Structure 1
């Protein structure tokens, strides 16, 4: 491994730790709780951040998503298209994730985290300059894509932790 991969693995580890601390011990009612009728729930935030990580890392790794390959889509049983990651979801869509339990959320996140770490462990510093998306100007490199996923995931993990804190104080 390199210093770059070590840093990225540390960042993804921190996301996983925040997800675990936020979700652990919550029942379905707490996971689906919302600070107001239009707000995102813990369940939706953790599902979404995990779907984004799964989708984006699987794409740059050139492999299927854990969502499909390891049966998570069927275990969650959500009423969305099979490739849906939650981007652009409405309040009703957020509510549809309300029946998800902590075991599935954490299991799916752990699976995606393990796959992410395995992918990162095989990278060399030169790999981070590889262009992975030419639809942007400038084109997106592997390094930029991974930092983007980390940024998005940390924001949503923090939001989920915040929601838990607010709901526990009610």
Structure 2
């Protein structure tokens, strides 16, 4: 994703922010969301046009680069593996537990086993030791499959919303599920408080669009630093 494409993405995200709470603009908001979201995630079949931001990241990306930790880059020391896993976990938790009140893809797709790591939380508040362990052990094919599955589920969840539902907020029972499923570390209560202040629109504008965009930017900086791309 070059600078012109990033600028277009940001412009469309701003447009979405301006209309998403208006029931009469519901169809347009969903259409913009689906386009923004699709621009980020690599397609499940590994091909097709247009090329997504994730496609650009994976292109000629070395496994050693993906797993390297720590990496000193602006705003982050984390590995590409962690950035891709964390952004997918945040989206899985918010879209399925807090918006759809459904099962996390992590569990429905048996990714707790397939990923080869013991972590079921969001990654917020994670120790350096655990980030290093995740970066070295995570199954990269399973990670790519998990991201595809999360993205597919998110699009189906948002496409199924009715006009007016972007203004809804998650219930106390839904937040209880987040705690019961240990999807957020006990030390990270701030994150639950942050989500509690968001409508469905707010969750769509950050965890489901802006958040993965930010982490792809960070992952790309790691790739450029370690592989010294011109």
Q: What's the CA shift string for 1:134-158, capped at 9, x where partnerless? A: 7569842110111121222111111
Q: 1:136 to 1:40 in 2, by over 3 A?
A: closer
Post-superposition shift, 1:79?
3.0
Query: Higher Cα Rg: structure 1 or 2?
Result: 2
CA separation in 2, counterparts of 1:31 and 1:138?
Answer: 33
TM-score, structure 2 length as denominator?
Answer: 0.66
Counterpart secondary structure, 2:164: helix
SS in 2 for 1:125: coil
1:109 aligns with 2:147: yes
1:12 corresponding residue in structure 2:
37
> Could you list the runs of 5+ residues in structure 1 that have no partner in the other structure?
none
Are 2:170 and 1:132 aligned? yes
Q: Which residue of 2 aligns with 1:50?
A: 88
Cα distance change of structure 1 residues 162 and 67 upon mapping to structure 2, 3 Å threshold: same
What is the TM-score of this pair, normalised by structure 1? 0.87
Q: Could you tell me which residue of structure 1 aligns to residue 133 of structure 2? A: 96
CA-CA distance at 1:24 after TM superposition: 4.7
**Separation of aligned partners in 2, 1:52 and 1:145:** 10
Please give the alpha-carbon distance, in whole angstroms, between the structure 1 residues aligned to 2:111 and 2:151: 14
Partner of 1:147: 205
RMSD between aligned residues: 2.4
Whether the 8 Å contact between 1:23 and 1:102 is mirrored in structure 2 is no
Q: Is 1:3 matched with 2:62?
A: no
2: CA distance, partners of 1:139 / 1:40: 28
Counting matched residue pairs gives 168
What corresponds to 1:160 in structure 2? 219
